[in-house]
Structure 1
Amino acid sequence: MKLKTIYASLKNDLSFIESELEQTVNAHHPVLRDASNHLLKAGGKRIRPVFVLLSGKFGDYNLVLMKNVAVALELIHMASLVHDDVIDDAEMRRGKKTIKAKWDNRVAMYTGDYIFARAIELVTELKEPSANTILSNAILEMSIGEIEQIKDQFNWDQNVRDYFRRIKRKTALLIATSCELGAVAAGASKAEQRHLKQFGYYVGMSYQITDDILDYTGTVKELGKPAGGDLLQGNITLPVLYAMNQDNKKHEIMDIFSKELNTSQEKVNQVISIVKSSGGIEFSQRISDRYLQKAFNELDQLPSQSARTSLRQIAEYIGKRKH
């Protein structure tokens, strides 16, 4: 099932959110405005706003209130991508030039900062005091996750626990926060807030593991960038970590990166071959599926309604997607 089909019941609300996103990033300064709009028009799945809106259906759903949270969470995600691209020296994202490539690093960093600031400004309009604490903690943990990723670049001695901690901060927490804040903004019960937060966390873990699998199995057309991009940046993900523990593959992989080959892509292609032959893809898929099952278990604790069905469908899509 395609996301558009799952999103059908939210079509009008999502159109409203998209319009609000455009207005929010429409800065007075022409460079900030152009750079922000360039990023926005690159598109995206809008997973976080959808989680906000669907989680709000478990309380007193009010789109005027929900839109501040939905827009804020998408902006935080967008800002983190801008900063990521500077750190990774990335030229392309979703098949389009990154802000740092189209302008430069300084414009990209200030654009990311501007988008972050606009997000925080929106959430301050919520009357629920806990909302700001929840969001601040999420941003704090995300920042730590990014620093940990930089620290662990080409660190062949890291383990699976390090990886899980990193992707929790990098991806899962923002999705968990989207679900939790959607429920908070709508005044859902504490129990519902808790189950939705956990659902978002488990879905977020599965989402990132699937991303890391696709980095080894996807095509340029599907990914909008060459396969093995994470490894080129020194980001050692679950498929590689599994491969390194099989038949002394760790030293084989380390040797590849210590050799003088024609191109960096040649090194990556060799490691991709090792990962696939070692069973790293299948192992990672099983772990992703386990997180999805935990997400479904959390949904089962929530009242039966169309929003719960939609959340389950999105989670299933995340586990099976090809891009």
Structure 2
Amino acid sequence: MSLDGKATKPHERLAQALSDDMAAVNALIRERMSSEHAPRIPEVTAHLIEAGGKRLRPMLTLAAARVLGYEGPYHVHLAATVEFIHTATLLHDDVVDESGQRRGRPTANLLWDNKSSVLVGDYLFARSFQLMTETNNMRVMDILANASAVIAEGEVLQLTAAQNLATTEDVYLRVIRGKTAALFSAATEVGGVIAGGTDAQIKALYDYGDALGIAFQMVDDLLDYGGTAAETGKNVGDDFRERKLTMPVIKAVTQSDAEERAFWKRVIEKGEQHEGDLEHALDLMAKYGTLEATRRDAIGWTDTARAALAKLPGHPLRDMLDDLADFVVERVR
């Protein structure tokens, strides 16, 4: 591990400290995303994997294992597994959402087609299961298989909940636990398991990943209404245009009067959106302070994440994970 250099952001410092491990992960990813008979697979996969993402989830696996003193090779397999699962879900999500942009670049479904995105996503899921079996650890296979099921369940739940004004904050949390936090918590948990951590240490790592993932998604939802395309890698207001009920909107709907509720019903449930509707939605969220309330919720989850970390042994990487929790909400403080 290298702790020197000029990296300033927590995820950059984490990447620097884990540079040797990440090099091994990237080499394994390139090896396993190849296909002798279907060249479109590496083409589509490389477009997304090499698009400049932070590789946050595999770094969480590596860091969790290293914090508990792991020296073996299988944290690399698990980190690659986590990245393949993540990439597969992104390919499928962009088809479901009919997205045209991801990380500031055209999506794979736009450059190729929906069929290619779905099938390559399926291939990456299959590759992820091949990788995890190579660890010969039934517990990590159970965790990652369960996370994959929870992710799919969360996406299906979002289909019905996202455009239903009856959706509550509890349902929203169930959705984002599925679509985002499940893979964060699995990433940290399997790192602890492969390192042979105690049940308490593994639980602490799970709790950290779960809370970090929830905060991460809440911030992403916030930035959709208050960020920039450069920050989010997508167009500001995309969630509104896609009629997604995220936390800021749910809080506004809960407090709305009859006229305001009729507005939300028209733009979210019926999808009848006109010029100026986004601005009116922002006015309503400002009226009830829902962006600020969601920001406070996100900060509360990062506090939960940091409290879980405090139960782990002292380690430079643990400190970086602590800083990472703060960084997740830094853009909305």
What is the TM-score with the length of structure 2 in the denominator? Answer: 0.91
CA distance in 1: counterparts of 2:32 and 2:18, whole angstroms: 20
Q: How does 1:50-69 map to 2 (within 5 A)?
A: 50-62=59-71, 64-69=73-78
Q: Report the count of equivalent residues.
A: 320
Does the 8 Å CA contact 1:288/1:319 hold for their aligned counterparts?
yes
RMSD of equivalent CA atoms: 1.8
Partner-residue secondary structure (3-state), 2:162: coil
Counterpart residue number, 1:148: 157
Counterpart residue number, 1:274: 284
State the percentage of identical aligned residues: 30
Q: CA deviation at 1:115?
A: 0.8
Structure 2 residue 321 is the aligned partner of structure 1 residue 311? yes
Counterpart residue number, 1:27: 35
Q: 1:23 to 1:277 in 2, by over 3 A?
A: farther
Q: How does 1:60-99 map to 2 (within 5 A)?
A: 60-62=69-71, 64-99=73-108
Does the 8 Å CA contact 1:60/1:187 hold for their aligned counterparts?
no
1:142-185 deviations in Å (ceiling 9; x for gaps): 11100001112321111111101111111111100000001111
Does the 8 Å CA contact 2:220/2:232 hold for their aligned counterparts?
no
Q: 1:169 to 1:260 in 2, by over 3 A?
A: closer
Provide structure 1 residue ranges, at least 5 long, that are not aligned to the other structure. Answer: none
Bigger shift: residues 153-162 or 117-126 = 153-162
Q: How does 1:223-302 map to 2 (within 5 A)?
A: 223-248=232-257, 249-256=260-267, 262=274, 266-302=276-312
Bigger shift: residues 171-180 or 228-237 = 228-237
Q: CA deviation at 1:127?
A: 2.2
1:96-116 deviations in Å (ceiling 9; x for gaps): 111110011100100100111
Provide structure 2 residue ranges, at least 5 long, that are not aligned to the other structure. Answer: 1-7
Does the 8 Å CA contact 2:13/2:320 hold for their aligned counterparts?
no
CA distance in 2: counterparts of 1:259 and 1:151, whole angstroms: 14
Q: CA deviation at 1:133?
A: 0.9
Q: CA deviation at 1:58?
A: 3.3
CA distance in 2: counterparts of 1:78 and 1:40, whole angstroms: 7
CA distance in 1: counterparts of 2:213 and 2:322, whole angstroms: 13
Supply the AA of the counterpart residue of 1:103: W
Does the 8 Å CA contact 2:266/2:273 hold for their aligned counterparts?
no
Supply the AA of the counterpart residue of 1:307: L
CA distance in 1: counterparts of 2:110 and 2:266, whole angstroms: 32
Partner-residue secondary structure (3-state), 2:134: coil
Does the 8 Å CA contact 2:208/2:306 hold for their aligned counterparts?
yes
Bigger shift: residues 180-189 or 57-66 = 57-66
Does the 8 Å CA contact 2:243/2:267 hold for their aligned counterparts?
no
Bigger shift: residues 219-228 or 86-95 = 219-228
Does the 8 Å CA contact 2:169/2:250 hold for their aligned counterparts?
yes
CA distance in 2: counterparts of 1:319 and 1:228, whole angstroms: 19
Q: CA deviation at 1:245?
A: 2.2
Q: CA deviation at 1:50?
A: 0.9
